[in-house]
Structure 1
């Protein structure tokens, strides 16, 4: 490496002598790890065109370390283009495989106001939650700050609401091992399911800062017994979002394509499984609150596990069977969530009524296979992390007072098999 630097230094000195002792300032840029220098000599064969300036640049091939600060004397960029090379490379990588674009600029400021986030007090709120967590004998002592901040944002920085939601998050991880164990996307049952549907968030955000997620089945032969694995994948994606959405979003929009739903699927659906999932994703309305000591004194809706701000649910390509399914599920939903569920016979009806969904995020819907593949790769990269997270859960034997009774917590069992379907 030192030899390469010395060679480049000598070339720079030779060039300096040829120019009367004046060093020629390089107007440089970064492209795929190469340093591009202005080509003023017509005899140079290897050139590359930059689209913005439309000028020719000489490609200097070198294994120079990709860290500009380590060799400032070897290439001193023009002040206008000066930037940390690591930041540029990181940005290129993020753009190449972006699965969760983060808000910035004015949009981020707008979201911050909507989430009631005060930059002057949020660190104090975070410290208060961390201190509370350390004092709970049945909950994990330590948790990463980014996810706790996501919970605070999801609770509009209400400390008491955040405490209840965190308690339920860790409780559900204990109560629902079918959702929170064996979370390896390379397992045959998960990998096969992921390849037969599209069920991921889109990379972009709506103009008002909301994250759009699309769920579309591509195989009518999907077995209802795979619903548990489908919920598992959804919660795996939810945990990744908790970790990576560092700036928060203005809420969630779900677009569900019901084209492959059949009466056979509905007949085998388990209400208990559905309700467990709804509690996790913050839209369940009923449960035996008195059976959960942490919320005995609380009124209002039942606490949920994930800090989701559900703004809209759109069901497209709906058939009469979908109306029946929504009728069955609605009693489990909060009143405000019921009013946010919209059903359309075709996809075009949704686009006609919600133009803003077609601007930025839904442009990614045209490339659902690529979005899904990117998420599969991301989930695969998280395999070891998911394995470590299996121990991060509530220990009911250490909970002050009466431990949670899971059977009474969910309060429902059976299936929809006996329901009449027209």
Structure 2
């Protein structure tokens, strides 16, 4: 009896890893990782059997392993979701032109910045807030696109670090902002942050909480896993409770600290993006994607990754 022919899957589109990802300055960004070289090779061997995935550098694999505390199986799941989500959500991850109208307008609407000093544990603190309080100026999907550009640049600049703390300042948020939030976009954001973003998230602080926090949490909490809910900390009456975990002196001067004003920090980040990262962000548009034509088995779809969108189209404000 003639044995069946051996079917070799087609080669991935990107046969050579781009050494600029995820760290623009090269593999030294992974120098502080503690994962074992043999684990990196195990992941590489697994990726070779997944022809729909791009070929990535050892430094990139190291970042994924570090983000899940060196769990091989969790790293595989994160890699799969990372590249699939970036392919299935082009509104966030395609046409990342720093000078496009949507990106420029978003950076006028929000302040996104990384503080210069880390916490004593080595955690980087990210601060996000509205800079324009007019509800009609909030283009939610565009702001999320700008946030993901910001987050990718933070990883590139920081390299492998112990973890991140994110502060969302709700000052200026009004009831009129809530209908501007696209719940399908919010769901995609939450899936990506929880299942694909290759960092160790240590805490999420909401400061200057508004009287209608129950409405905000009613939108967000159903999309959060227990692990994320446990990281969430709300601060309604001043920042004393925040400073129990984040030293006041590393905060921007407009929050009582010794760092630059938040607007200056945001301007510094924006300048970095518009100089050092212009071409890098465009390269990412082509490089960090799945090729669904090469996937063994059924193709990945938006509904598979993010759930059906029909039930997320309407938001009622009581």
TM-score of the two chains, using structure 2 as the length reference: 0.80
| Corresponding residue to 1:323 among 208, 214, 220 | 214
**Is 1:264 the counterpart of 2:176 in the alignment?**
yes
Quote the residue 2:228 is aligned against: 337
Residues 239 and 318 of structure 1, relative CA distance in 2, 3 Å threshold? same
**Is 1:401 the counterpart of 2:297 in the alignment?**
yes
Aligned counterparts of 1:365 and 1:230: Cα–Cα separation in 2: 25
Quote the residue 2:284 is aligned against: 389
**2:113–2:266: 8 Å Cα contact kept in structure 1?**
yes
**Is 1:164 the counterpart of 2:77 in the alignment?**
yes
Give the number of the structure with larger relative contact order, counting CA–CA contacts within 8 Å between residues 6 or more apart: 2
1:367 CA drift (Å): 2.2
**1:269–1:417: 8 Å Cα contact kept in structure 2?**
no
Quote the residue 1:311 is aligned against: 202
**Is 1:360 the counterpart of 2:250 in the alignment?**
yes
1:373 CA drift (Å): 1.5
Task: Please report the RMSD computed on the Cα atoms of aligned residues, expressed in angstroms.
Answer: 2.5
1:190 CA drift (Å): 1.3
| Corresponding residue to 2:268 among 374, 391, 412 | 374
Please tell me whether Structure 1 or Structure 2 has the larger radius of gyration of its CA atoms: 1
Residues 205 and 408 of structure 1, relative CA distance in 2, 3 Å threshold? same
| Corresponding residue to 2:128 among 215, 219, 222 | 215
Residues 163 and 371 of structure 1, relative CA distance in 2, 3 Å threshold? same
**2:187–2:223: 8 Å Cα contact kept in structure 1?**
yes
Aligned counterparts of 1:376 and 1:367: Cα–Cα separation in 2: 14
**2:140–2:180: 8 Å Cα contact kept in structure 1?**
no
Q: Tell me the alpha carbon deviations over residues 387-415 of structure 1, each in whole angstroms, 9 at most, x when there is no partner.
A: 11112201122211121232243223455
Structure 1 gap segments, 5+ residues each: 1-101, 283-303
Structure 2 gap segments, 5+ residues each: 1-28
Q: How does 1:74-223 map to 2 (within 5 A)?
A: 117=34, 122-140=36-54, 142-223=55-136
| Corresponding residue to 2:158 among 230, 245, 250 | 245
1:192 CA drift (Å): 2.6
Quote the residue 1:7 is aligned against: none
